[in-house]
């Protein structure tokens, strides 16, 4: 199962691995809620470098990737998906969802359910865990989506 995030942050760049910073800490509660084991997950990001800006305080801060940066990285993501050949792709947030389903896809419409990509891969869309920090109203929705994912995985396992 491939989990696709947006882009690495400072700690991910330092470690050379995705989801080792704050977002990585969230991963444990994610695994608990979905019943997935860490070994079942291949973690990656759409954008392969850290998009940064200089904050008003003069420090280096994260920023969302631009459409140009996303477009630059998509061929690498597609190659990675081809090599890993996951049976399921979990997208976190709009950037990952749109990388898989196109720019018209919106997380508000797709979260908490499975959808098919143009080339027949199955994608299950979730809000980005960081969005809950900015929008606490999403907390309940995110929890419900994880429960939906758990039910979806259980049903799939039974039918395999």
Q: Which helix (H) or strand (E) holds 101?
A: helix 93-101
- Only segment of 4-12, 68-76, 81-89, 112-120 that touches ligand URA (CB under 6 A): 4-12
Answer yes or no whether residue 145 interacts with ligand URA by CB under 6 A. Answer: no
Shortest distance (Å) from residue 11 CB to ligand URA? 8
Answer yes or no whether residue 19 interacts with ligand URA by CB under 6 A. Answer: yes
Which residue of 2, 23, 90, 123 would you call a contact of ligand URA, by CB under 6 A?
A: 23
Answer yes or no whether residue 18 interacts with ligand URA by CB under 6 A. Answer: yes
Answer yes or no whether residue 112 interacts with ligand URA by CB under 6 A. Answer: no
For 125, half-sphere exposure in the C-beta direction (CA atoms, 13 angstrom radius) is 20
Cα distance between residue 66 and residue 112, in whole Å: 25
Cα distance between residue 155 and residue 160, in whole Å: 9
Which residue of 2, 30, 45, 65 would you call a contact of ligand URA, by CB under 6 A?
A: 45
Cα distance between residue 69 and residue 64, in whole Å: 10
- Only segment of 16-24, 81-89, 117-125, 146-154 that touches ligand URA (CB under 6 A): 16-24
Answer yes or no whether residue 65 interacts with ligand URA by CB under 6 A. Answer: no
Which three-class secondary structure state does DSSP give residue 156? helix
Shortest distance (Å) from residue 157 CB to ligand URA? 27
Cα distance between residue 75 and residue 136, in whole Å: 34
How many Å is the maximal CA-CA distance in the chain? 54
Answer yes or no whether residue 9 interacts with ligand URA by CB under 6 A. Answer: yes
């Amino acid at each position: 199962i491939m989990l696709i995030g947006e882009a690495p942050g400072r700690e991910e760049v330092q470690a050379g691995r995705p989801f080792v910073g704050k977002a990585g800490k969230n991963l444990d509660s994610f695994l608990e809620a979905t019943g997935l084991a860490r070994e079942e997950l291949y973690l990656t990001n759409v954008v392969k470098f850290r998009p940064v800006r200089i904050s008003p305080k003069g420090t280096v801060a994260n920023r969302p990737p631009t459409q140009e940066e996303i477009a630059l990285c998509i061929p690498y993501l597609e190659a990675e998906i081809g090599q890993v050949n996951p049976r399921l792709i979990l997208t976190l947030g709009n950037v990952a969802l749109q990388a898989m389903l196109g720019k018209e896809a919106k997380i508000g419409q797709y979260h908490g359910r499975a959808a098919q990509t143009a080339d027949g891969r199955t994608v299950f869309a979730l809000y980005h865990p960081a969005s809950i920090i900015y929008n606490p109203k999403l907390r309940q929705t995110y929890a419900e989506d994880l429960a939906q994912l758990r039910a979806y995985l259980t049903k799939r396992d039974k039918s395999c």
